[in-house]
Structure 1
Amino acid sequence: MSEGFHHIAPPALEMRGLALRYAGQPLFEGLTMSVPAGCCTALLGASGVGKTSLLRIAAGLATPDAGSVQASDGLPLAGRIAWMGQQDLLYPWARVLENVTIGSRLRGERADKPRALTLLEAVGLRGWERALPKELSGGMRQRVALARTLYEDRPVVLMDEPFSALDAITRAAMQTLAARLLTGRTTLLITHDPMEACRLAHGLYVLSGRPARLGKEIFVPGMPPRAPDDAGVLRIQGELLRVLLAGSAA
């Protein structure tokens, strides 16, 4: 459980028989996937294959034509999911601390400022709580977004290419930070980056084809965050690249 904060024991996510059409064409049909409880699962695939659509269905932001997404404990998923996207989506008029606690404000709740400050310290931004987003670098803004995601303290976290806009050094640092702070939560990560997937995920899937199908699950040895030069990371990264290239040529 990250940083000692309370959060409900995370369920597994069970996606069963999902179907979705876009512009009259099937994105996927009969798609079934499990995201193990308390683990990070990465989903890779070419642009337009349906990864974000699948994530939006899991988040309850889109409705499939068929199938369902359920928690393994049988309880509703509503209110138990946190989302982190490619853009930081910080409110430009709100200071850093206000952006982290914006969920409380939108729900009409009192903000837990001590917890928000502890999270800002965890992401290396203590002292910046009164800064406006325009005063921050891209990497700092993404760290605020990560703190905001963690502030929601949800057992399930869905991440849509959250670090893709960052430079290589900042991206590697954010990967390490996210892996540490998201330990114990059920996380589904969409990424185009095989290295990122191998560093952060316990298991990986490649989505390919039209309608899209899931490849077999790929496991990476060791525990995240793994070193970029770890032998297992390099081996699985090469395997993923071969799979992705084969899919793009099909």
Structure 2
Amino acid sequence: MIHAENLSVSYDDVDALADVDLDVDEGEFVTVVGPSGCGKTTLLRTIGGLQEPTTGTVTVDGDPPEVAQSAARLGFVFQDHTLLPWKSAVENVTFLRRMAGKDPDPAGARDLLTTTGLDGFEDARPSELSGGMKQRVAIARAVHLGADVLLMDEPFGELDEITRDEMGVEILRLWRKNRKTVVFVTHSVPEAVFLGDRCLVVAADGDADPAANGSPGRIVAEFDIDLSRPRDESVFGSETFGAQVARVRGALHGDT
């Protein structure tokens, strides 16, 4: 589904990513974790066709990202919900489909909002919604687009811990129902472990040193997440979950 080979990205004098090889299978949920400035967002933007690679290649289902993007096969969810303030929740959800020339399906949009816990708020404006509610609308909008791939960049970054946990459960419920291919960037190791089939650790150099200055980001470790599905909040207290989190944290901090 997603294939990157020998991918490097540079901005002026800054090398953001180097020598990235990546494969994401159809229907897989892959999380990407790493310190600030290590290139996680650059990787996501390059997969999504928002950033040109300096060297190497990226394809989405065999096509260049810009082709997949123009065909509305890529959906984005960012930390900033980017909702249109003058539109209701359901109108925001259908907006991207309208822009892509697809049938907006308001009934389907309302069903999605109900699935994400917004029953009764379908006609509310963004100013009437909490931060978590706005992100639910943004996620429903991306799913409603009908894209094959969802690229999610710290979508819960501004939410409190309890709401983040709730949103994680909502995301997994939607994913089970729609089985999209997901690449999810986060700073939170527990979140990365809870959500993913597989977790990639990105760091600023080959030794996984988050303090490295000016080094390009690389994938320095990769973990299959050994937790059964479906998952809910009960997973957080399990010994297996704690062990998985410890493994990822160890790689993130360069432990051997």
TM-score (norm 1): 0.88
State yes or no: 1:127 paired with 2:116.
Answer: no
| TM alignment of 1:195-206, pairs within 5 A | 195-206=190-201
Relative to structure 1, the CA distance from residue 34 to residue 224 in structure 2 (aligned partners, 3 Å threshold; closer, same or farther) is farther
Amino acid paired to 2:149 = V
Relative to structure 1, the CA distance from residue 73 to residue 66 in structure 2 (aligned partners, 3 Å threshold; closer, same or farther) is closer
Contact 2:97 2:144 (8 Å CA) reproduced: no
Amino acid paired to 2:236 = P
| TM alignment of 1:212-223, pairs within 5 A | 212-221=217-226, 222-223=228-229
- Show the counterpart of 1:185: 180
In structure 1, C-alpha distance between the alignment counterparts of 2:156 and 2:83, rounded to whole Å: 15
- Show the counterpart of 2:68: 77
State yes or no: 1:164 paired with 2:144.
Answer: no
TM-score (norm 2): 0.86
* CA deviation after TM superposition for structure 1 residue 91, in Å: 0.7
Q: How many percent of aligned residue pairs carry the same amino acid? A: 33
How many residue pairs get matched? 236
- Show the counterpart of 1:3: none
Which stretches of structure 1, 4 residues or more, deviate above 6 A after TM superposition? none
Picking from 23, 30, 53, the partner of 1:64 is 53
Contact 1:220 1:232 (8 Å CA) reproduced: no
In structure 1, C-alpha distance between the alignment counterparts of 2:86 and 2:127, rounded to whole Å: 9
Relative to structure 1, the CA distance from residue 181 to residue 146 in structure 2 (aligned partners, 3 Å threshold; closer, same or farther) is same
Amino acid paired to 2:189 = P
* CA deviation after TM superposition for structure 1 residue 32, in Å: 0.8
Amino acid paired to 1:225 = R
State yes or no: 1:237 paired with 2:245.
Answer: yes
* CA deviation after TM superposition for structure 1 residue 149, in Å: 1.2
- Show the counterpart of 1:48: 37
Amino acid paired to 1:186 = T
Q: Which moved more, 1:130-139 or 1:232-241?
A: 232-241
1:99-154 CA distance string (max 9 Å, x none): 11111332354421110011111112122111110011111111111111111121
Contact 1:45 1:244 (8 Å CA) reproduced: yes
State yes or no: 1:96 paired with 2:89.
Answer: yes
- Show the counterpart of 2:18: 29
Structure 1: unaligned runs, 5 residues or longer: 1-11
Structure 2: unaligned runs, 5 residues or longer: 206-214
